[in-house]
Amino acid sequence: MDNFIVSARKYRPATFNTVVGQAHITNTLKNAIKTGHLAQAFLFCGPRGVGKTTCARILAKTINCSDRTETTEACDKCESCISFNSGASHNVFELDAASNNSVDDIRALIEQVRYAPQLGDYKIYVIDEVHMLSQAAFNAFLKTLEEPPKHAIFILATTEKHKIIPTILSRCQIFDFNRIQIDDIAQHLAFIAKNENITAETDALHIIAQKADGALRDACSIFDQIVSFAGSTVTYKAVIENLNILDYDYYFQVTDAILGENIPTALLVFNEILNNGFDGHNFIAGLGDHFRNLLVSKDAVTLQLLEVGANIKDKYKEQAAKCTLLFLVRGLTILNKTDIQYKSSKNQRLQVELALMQLCSINSIGTDTEKKNDIIKPKQANQEVETLKKGTLTPSNYSKNDNPDIHLAQEPKINPKQDSVKTETSVISSSNPQSIKKSLIKTASPSINQHLSVKKEDMSTNNKNKEEEANDASQLSSVFSQKDLDIYWNKYATDLKAKGKISYGVALLDKQPILKDNCIIEFMINSKTLEETINEDKLNLLGYLRKELSNFNIKLQLQMIATEEKTTLYTANDRFKRLSEKNPNINKFRQAFDLDIEF
């Protein structure tokens, strides 16, 4: 290791083609060089370590090359390329604005810009972390940026694009660099390992790539660190030990215990994790990631979202096959809750253990429809229907409920005779929790109605119509209060005012709507004009209320106030009389202060 060069430098890409994960940028730059339409100022934005400076250097080398290849890459043979590769080129200037951000630094740079290059056609000025320049420096620079000499190209690089003032932004061609994909980083590391005669396990490289969080330079540094620790063989085990990462294996073990409803094993594994010096919060977050990975492994379409090495991918697929979608969704809900509550909990260990116990009990709460069929007797089901009739549990209550635990657990119980296979497949085929809800509601609600129709013989035609309506899963009928109504009614009216329909909005705010039985909303109006306006807008208004209150049975009833005599109030006295009728306090107020009426 005598002349050890860090991998990030040694394997810094030297051609556009070898830049990792930024094809959209290198292709554009190559095209611009080819067609001769190169801008004079570029802004490279993106997180650190993703190749901004590297691209700037490659651009500088390529445009000065006298003998570019057909694929618009530098030849590496001409005089310019050779001086560039040996680091002797005077055509690239790099200024780190983080440490040289004064006006004088920029003036020194501007001074240099005037001189044409000795070799090649262009001089490239790279200003790194350009957002750090002082205001004065920015101003001094602006003029040069506006009218640069022909041979000058500016490349401004920044990690914080939002801090760049618009006058600079508008003068630059902007390139946004991506975070580099984990797979791309892992491949690059594999390439380095191969060249350095290091044997590295793919899973190990994936872990390094994950830890680097999209930055190739960081990944290279971690890789060097591991190599100096582990020598010429980089194993998964060495990486997780060195980076203090909790082994995937623990998550698989815990999940197996959870699936087997084996609380003791789950607790023991957690204990072992704590003994190894890991923190409970990390464990919960990691287990959440694990469940998420299992969820995406269930479907070939989402499998690409799994960013792990090939071996681990197979393990995920295997374990995912053992979990139902419902189990995973519920598990994620529990883990998410624990994650949120962890920090505020006094007994954090217990918090995690409680979560594990809950996870182990998911299946026994009842996920499996077939299981349900055995447990729930028809009598019980009838009782549930009775409660449904009382209105405590309407199908729509499920959809409004924030806690999937409750509605997911109850819905399958409703009709024990329900075709269990059908329910199961509809659940599994949909990977989206929202659609799970929907499919469950769809299968559940007709059965409720069946029970209701059998029990109730005296059902009026009106009710039958309602039943038909309720068959549609979209026909929600949540219970809401006068207060809820007031909130959304006022919101609608305020929005109208904001949209310029001021008098309409004011008219709606003038009186509060009254919630009557059967979701009828009564609204008092005092003029034909208002009645017409509301009727014209009825679809919008009703649509809004039905949606916001999750109740599609809402109806609007306009009630004309028994028209008071429409006398025009001419005199001040008349107007005062009318006002004090509306609010007697005004009169008291007048008397108390002995006021005259004079408008």
Cα-Cα end-to-end distance for the chain: 97
Shortest CB 117 distance to Zn ion, Å: 14
Distance CA 152, CA 507 (A): 66
- Shortest CB 128 distance to Zn ion, Å: 25
Return the ∠ at Cα 81 (arms to 224 and 71), rounded to 5°: 90
Residue 77 C-beta: closest distance to Zn ion, Å: 6
Least distance from Zn ion to the Cβ atom of residue 33, Å: 13
Question: What is the C-alpha to C-alpha distance for residues 569 and 423, in angstroms, rounded to an integer?
Answer: 69
Placement of tokens 């269930």 in the chain = 298
Phi, psi values for residue 74, rounded to 5°: -70, 150
Which residue's CB is nearer to Zn ion, number 151 or number 466? 151
Helix (H, G, I), strand (E, B) or coil at 126: strand
**Sequence-distant (≥ 6) Cβ neighbours of residue 423 within 8 angstroms:** 369, 412, 440, 443
Whichever of 75 and 487 has its CB closer to Zn ion, that residue is 75
Give the nearer residue to Zn ion in terms of CB position, either 8 or 58: 58
* Residue 266 to residue 358: CA distance in whole angstroms: 11
Cα gap 47→173, rounded to integer Å = 18
Name which of 81 and 284 has its Cβ closer to Zn ion.
81
Determine contact, residues 545/488, Cβ cutoff 8 Å: yes
The type of residue at 117 is P
Name which of 63 and 326 has its Cβ closer to Zn ion: 63
Q: Which is nearer to Zn ion, 76 or 241 (CB)?
A: 76
Going by their DSSP bridges, the two strands 41-45 and 173-176 should be labelled as parallel
Beta carbon of residue 153, minimum distance to Zn ion (angstroms, whole number): 17
Measured CA distances, 308 to 95, 289, 362 (Å): 38, 12, 27
CB of 126 to Zn ion, least distance (A): 20
Q: Which is nearer to Zn ion, 60 or 332 (CB)?
A: 60
Shortest separation between residue 59's beta carbon and Zn ion, angstroms: 13
Residue from 89, 88, 87 nearest 63 by CA: 89
The two tokens of residue 84 are: 């560039």
- Token readout for 18 is 């070898």
Q: How far is the CB of 56 from Zn ion (least distance, A)?
A: 17
| Closest CB to Zn ion among residues 75, 110 | 75
- Helix ranges restricted to H, 173-262: 182-195, 202-212, 216-230, 236-243, 248-259
User: How near is the Cβ of 151 to Zn ion at its closest, in Å?
Assistant: 17
Which 3 state secondary structure label does DSSP give 73?
A: coil
Smallest separation (angstroms) from Zn ion to the CB of 328: 55
Shortest Å, Cβ 64 to Zn ion: 8
* Closer Cβ to Zn ion, 63 or 207, answer by number: 63
Closer to Zn ion by CB, 34 or 163: give it: 34
Task: Decide whether 41 or 74 has the Cβ nearer to Zn ion.
Answer: 74
207, two tokens: 């872990």
Q: How many CB atoms lie within 10 A of CB 106?
A: 24
- Whichever of 60 and 470 has its CB closer to Zn ion, that residue is 60
Q: How many CB atoms lie within 10 A of CB 358?
A: 20
Both tokens of residue 259? 């699936």
H helices of 305-432, in order, are: 310-322, 325-342, 348-360, 362-366, 369-375, 378-389, 395-400, 404-410, 420-429
Q: Which residues form the interface with Zn ion (CB under 5 A)?
A: 65, 74-75, 78, 81
Between β-strands 514-515 and 520-525, what pairing exists: parallel, antiparallel or unpaired? antiparallel
Residue 76 vs 424, nearer CB to Zn ion: 76
Nearer to Zn ion, 78 or 452 (CB): 78
- Shortest Cβ 122–Zn ion spacing (Å): 13
For residue 38, the minimal CB distance to Zn ion (Å) is 17
Report which DSSP code applies to 180. Answer: P
The two structure tokens encoding residue 505: 């909005």
Q: How far apart are CA 131 and CA 127, in angstroms?
A: 10
Contact present, 55 and 212 (Cβ < 8 Å): no
Residue whose token pair is 């043979």: 77
Cβ 62 to Zn ion shortest distance, Å: 8
